[in-house]
Structure 1
Amino acid sequence: MSETLPEGVERREIDGRKRLATRGEAVYGEPTDGEWRAWDPDRSKLGAMIELGMDVGLSGGDRVLYLGAASGTTVSHVADFAGPTYAVEFAARPARDLLSVADSRPRLFPLLKDARKPETYAHVVEAGLDAVVQDVATRGQARVARLNRRFLADDGRLLLSVKARSEDVTRGPEAVFEEVLEELEEEYEVLERSRLDDYHDDHLGVVASPR
C-alpha cells in the first residue's frame, strides 16, 4: 500500500535515507537536499504523527492556526506547504526566533499571544480555517483546543499533541489522556489517536473534527 502524505510533503532521500521533507529554508540544522529539508519527527510532534501514519488531513494551501509555535521548528514545515499560517507563541525568547523563521516565509504570521486567550488575536486570525495544530505545554490542553474551536471551519481538523506531564506529573499518562479526551469530546469528534512514544515520551497524537 502506498503511503499517503499531506500535499506538499514528500519522502526524499536525504542524508542516506528516505525522510519526510518539505521545500524551504533550513531552520534548526536539519539536513537538506537542494531546496528540500528533512522534517525530523524527533523534534516535531506533528512530524511524528505523520511518520506514524496518522491521517492529519493537511493539504497544500490550507489555512492553519498553530498554537505553541515556540521557535518555529514545526510551524516552519507547515508554512512551507500551507497557505496563511498563524503562529501563536506566548514566550518572548522563542518568539524572536520565530520572527527570523518568518523572514523567508511570507505566508507565516507570528503572533506573540497566549493560546489560552484567543480573544486577543481574534481580530487577526480569520474564521473558517482548515486546521488548528496545537502543541502547548500547559495544563488544560483540552480547554485550549475548545477555546480555539471558534477559528475552525465545520469540516476543519484539530491536530493535537497532548503532553501528559504538562497536565499532571503525578498520574499515569494513559489516565491523563483519557481525561483530556473526555473533555475534548464535548466539542470535537476524535477521529484518530496514537501514542507518540517512538519519538516523544508520554505524548498522545489526536486528530479530531468539530462537532
Structure 2
Amino acid sequence: MMSVEEISDGIFEIDLDDRKSLATRNLMPGISVYGERLIEEEDEEYRLWDPKRSKLGAMALKKFEIPITYDSTVLYLGAASGTTVSHVSDILRDGLVYAVEFSPRTMRDLLQLCDQRPNIIPILADANKPQSYAHIVEKADVIFQDVAQPNQAEIAAINSKYFLEEHGHLMLSIKSRSIDTTASPKKIFKDEVRKLENVFGVEFEVLQRKELDPFHEDHLGLVARMFVDDEE
C-alpha cells in the first residue's frame, strides 16, 4: 500500500517509486487528460500532476499555501489547453473554474476538456480586457494567472478589480523573460511585486513569494490577498 497524504484541499502527495509525487483525485475516473499516469489506491483514482508542466503544481510542491478549496470559484487567466485547469477541476468538487484563453487554436483543445468536465467554463478572450467577459464571470475567491505578457501585474490587478472577492486571493506566475529579456530576473520580480502595491486602485498584501526553479526557470510564484480598508 502506498502512502497518500492530502497536503492542501484536493492536492495530494503520493509515495511512488521511492519519491513523492504530486496528484489530484480524478474527477472523471478512467480518463487521462494529457497522458498523465493514473494511480489506484483504496478505491480512489489519482492523476499524477507534473510540476514541470504546471506553475500551480510547482507552487504546491514548493510549499505555497494554496488558497483553492473544494467549493472555491476560480478565475484562471491563461488556461492554454487545460493541463493545469484540469487539476483545478479535480480540486473543485463543489466549485467552478472560469478558464480564459486568448488563442482560438488552443481553445479547441480546452473545449474538448470542458466536454468531459462540467465545472470548467471556457472563455475565449483577451485577459487585458476583462470588461469583455464581465457578463459571464461571477465574483471569484481566487484568481490564478499564468499569462506570458509584459504587463503581467497590470493584468492581474485589473481582473482583480473586476472579479476578486473582498479579501480574495491572487496567485500569480511571473515570467521574467516575457517582461524583459535583458534585465535581471530578480530585478524584474521586485519591480512587478512593487506594482501590485497599488495599481488600478487595487492593493494587495503579498503573503508568499518564491522562485519556481528547478521546475520553471526565471519564474516567480506569488500569493497575495486583496487589501480592503474596512474603515472606508
**TM-score range, shorter-chain basis?**
over 0.9
| TM-score normalised to structure 1 length | 0.94
Give the fraction of aligned pairs with identical amino acids, expressed as a percent.
Answer: 50
> Contact (CA 8 Å) 2:6, 2:12: kept in 1 or not?
no
Aligned residues: 208
State whether residues 104 and 124 of structure 2, in contact with CA within 8 Å, keep that contact through their aligned partners in structure 1. Answer: yes
* In structure 2, distance between residues paired with 1:138 and 1:84: 25
Partner SS state of residue 8, structure 2 = coil
In the other structure, the counterpart of 1:143 is 154
Alignment of 1:1-80 (within 5 A): 5-14=7-16, 17-24=19-26, 25-34=31-40, 35-80=45-90
TM alignment of 1:100-115, pairs within 5 A:
100-115=112-127
Q: Which residue of 1 aligns with 2:195?
A: 183
Structure 1 residue aligned with 2:208, among 188, 192, 197? Answer: 192
Greater RCO, CA 8 A, separation 6+: 1
- TM-score (norm. length: structure 2): 0.86
How much does 1:12 deviate? 2.3
Q: After TM superposition, where is structure 1 displaced by more than 6 Å over at least 4 residues in a row?
A: none
SS at match of 1:200: coil
Residues in 2 aligned to 1:120 and 1:16: alpha-carbon distance in whole angstroms: 48
Gaps of 5+ in 1: none
Q: Deviations over 1:179-210 (max 9, x none)?
A: 11111111211111000011000000000011
- Rounded to whole Å, the distance in 2 between the matches of 1:27 and 1:15 is 22
Unaligned segments of structure 2, at least 5 residues: 228-232
The 2-side partners of 1:80 and 1:16 are apart by 25
Change (3 A) 1:4 1:171: farther
Alpha-carbon distance in structure 1 between the residues aligned to 2:59 and 2:156: 18
Counterpart Cα distance in 2 of 1:210 and 1:115: 19
Q: Which residue of 1 aligns with 2:225?
A: 209
Q: CA deviation at 1:175?
A: 0.7
- Which protein has the larger Cα radius of gyration, Structure 1 or Structure 2? 2
Per the alignment, in what secondary structure is the counterpart of residue 96 of structure 1?
helix
Give the whole-Å Cα distance in 1 for the aligned partners of 2:6 and 2:189.
27
